[in-house]
Amino acid sequence: MRRFISIFSTPAARSSAIYYFGNFLLGSGRYLFHLVLLRLLLPSEYGEFLAYLSLMYLLGIPNGTINTIVTKYVSEFKGKNQERTINHFFYYFLGKITPYSLLMGVLLIFASRPLAVIFRAHQGAFVILGLSLFLNFAGTLIRGYLNAFQRFVAGIGVGVVEAILTIALAALFISARLSATGAVLAQLVASLIGILMTLFLIRKAVYPKAGGKPETFKLSGFTGYSLIFALGTTSLISSDVLLVRYFFSEHLSGIYASLSVLGRMVYFGLGPLISLVLPVAAHRQAATKTARSVFLKLGGIVMLFGLAGTSVFVIFPGLIVSLFSGANYAQAAAFLPLFAVSMLLFSLNLFALSYLMAIGQPQANRYFLLAALAQPLLISLFHQDISQVVWINLTVESFLFIPLLGEVKASIYNRS
């Protein structure tokens, strides 16, 4: 027992706790944005907005890849004090992502009309999403540098400003009768301001461009696994929302959207710690050749906080829905306990995969790919009611957890 307590009393654990609670407050602010929308929009309108957001997540799958690659490699460069390489890597990567992001943005704008018909939504929102794609990709690169430098407090500060702006602008645009489209526009404007602030914070590392022969980087092997990681992360929390929007009524899609957002509180509450393991473990691995202690300490905190948060949703589902969503979404309470458990498993799966990627063992992502393919296939086959979708999510996460646990145990055992 004393050894267990000592894990949480080390400087690293205390720093992790500060980082967690800071990001928890930030996540609460971001969630307040959704809670405000739940109050301002009808279920059908909120279902429309979350469909926009889910589509943006899917189109932004490369964002997850960018974040993983940048965080891992820049953390390693920082651990080896390779300042010139850090500078060159920024411009190398920016050149790689620019053509893709511009092409995807143009295609989305041209496809805005049929997408509006398919998802029973407003065409203008899809145009805004298309215009924001390059901004999102570039922003992920810039934020990845801030994470790799472990400037977590600064990142929290930028996030707080961005969250406040998003809420204020959304309320303003919705009051101007822009409905769900106004919420999308608010996110775009706030994101632009946040990216500019972050770029200012990392300016000394990336500006001006370092002289000498430009460096090239061989990223192909790790990039493939990073893409799978991003695909799995995004698909498992977005595909279900889009499929429910397609197969169910607008009202029920709004109920499921509310359920999804409330259940994700478990994941977003743990998200700061999950994002912490990649830069910290990669840096530790590069500097000392072992990151086992990082996994044990952060893993203990993730499990403790995750079980505590999930218990609240399991015991008080009606109160949670009533408090955060309102009477219009009361149907979601029946499914919230199961959804919260599936989000806990999802969080643990992401934590395990992040650690394995940080120590150079990304092959476990093959299980993630199978899960990402299985979920939409099963929902497409079985969608008589919302309960089936909820059970599919829980089943997929449970089957994913088993092999990942084996991979982590093997990794720790082989290095012990």
The predicted model gives 54-65 an average pLDDT of 74
CB 202 within 8 A of CB 149: yes
> Whole domain around residue 168: which residue ranges?
2-415
Q: Residue 361: which region, alpha, beta or left (left: phi > 0; alpha: psi -120 to 50)?
A: beta
pLDDT of residue 393: 93
pTM above 0.75, yes or no: no
The predicted model gives 189-215 an average pLDDT of 86
The SS3 assignment for 80 reads: coil
Task: Choose between 10 and 299: higher pLDDT.
Answer: 299
Label residue 307 exposed, middle or buried (CB < 10 Å: 0-12, 13-18, 19+): exposed
The predicted model gives 106-117 an average pLDDT of 85
The predicted model gives 223-247 an average pLDDT of 81
Task: Choose between 18 and 191: higher pLDDT.
Answer: 191
Whole-angstrom distance, CA of residue 54 vs CA of residue 110 = 19
Q: What's the longest Cα–Cα distance across the chain?
A: 63
Label residue 296 exposed, middle or buried (CB < 10 Å: 0-12, 13-18, 19+): exposed
Range scoring the smallest mean pLDDT among 71-85, 286-300, 359-373: 286-300
pLDDT of residue 339: 93
Question: In sequence order, which residues have a C-beta less than 8 Å from that of residue 309 and are 6 or more positions away?
Answer: 265, 266, 269, 270, 344
The predicted model gives 247-276 an average pLDDT of 82
The predicted model gives 356-379 an average pLDDT of 87
CB 136 within 8 A of CB 105: no
Q: According to DSSP H, which parts of 248-362 are helical?
A: 250-288, 292-315, 317-324, 336-358
pLDDT of residue 8: 47
pLDDT of residue 19: 60
pLDDT of residue 198: 92
pLDDT at 338 over 70: yes
pLDDT of residue 1: 46
Where is 44: in which H helix or E strand?
helix 43-59
pLDDT category at 381 given cuts 50, 70, 90 is very high
In the chain, the amino acid numbered 85 is: T
DSSP state of 290: -
Whole-angstrom distance, CA of residue 75 vs CA of residue 70 = 8
DSSP state of 119: T
Range scoring the smallest mean pLDDT among 184-198, 207-221, 252-266, 369-383: 207-221
In the chain, the amino acid numbered 195 is: I
Q: Among residues 50, 383, 86, which one has the least CA distance to residue 217?
A: 86
Range scoring the smallest mean pLDDT among 5-19, 212-226, 346-360: 5-19
Range scoring the smallest mean pLDDT among 209-223, 259-273, 335-349: 209-223
Task: Choose between 131 and 5: higher pLDDT.
Answer: 131
- How many C-beta neighbours within 10 Å does residue 4 have? 8
CA terminus-to-terminus distance, the chain: 22
What DSSP string describes 394-415?
HHHHHHHHHHHHHHHHHHHHHH
pLDDT at 343 over 80: yes
Q: Residue 294: which region, alpha, beta or left (left: phi > 0; alpha: psi -120 to 50)?
A: alpha
Range scoring the smallest mean pLDDT among 228-232, 262-266, 383-387: 228-232
CA contacts within 13 A on the Cβ side of 123: 7
pLDDT category at 13 given cuts 50, 70, 90 is low
Percent of the chain with pLDDT over 70: 88
336-340: which pairs have CB atoms within 8 A and are 24 or more residues apart?
A: 336/259, 336/262, 336/263, 337/313, 338/390, 338/391, 338/394, 339/259, 339/260, 339/262, 339/263, 339/313, 339/390, 339/393, 339/394, 340/263, 340/266, 340/310, 340/313, 340/314
pLDDT at 7 over 50: no
Task: Choose between 72 and 2: higher pLDDT.
Answer: 72
Number of domains forming the structure of the chain: 1
Question: In sequence order, which residues have a C-beta less than 8 Å from that of residue 273 and are 6 or more positions away?
Answer: 16, 19, 20, 298, 301, 302, 305, 351
CB 372 within 8 A of CB 236: yes
pLDDT category at 416 given cuts 50, 70, 90 is very low
pLDDT category at 401 given cuts 50, 70, 90 is very high
- How many C-beta neighbours within 10 Å does residue 412 have? 14
DSSP state of 214: P
pLDDT at 292 over 60: yes
pLDDT category at 264 given cuts 50, 70, 90 is confident
Question: In sequence order, which residues have a C-beta less than 8 Å from that of residue 271 and are 6 or more positions away?
Answer: 23, 27, 347
The SS3 assignment for 82 reads: coil
The SS3 assignment for 217 reads: coil
Label residue 246 exposed, middle or buried (CB < 10 Å: 0-12, 13-18, 19+): middle
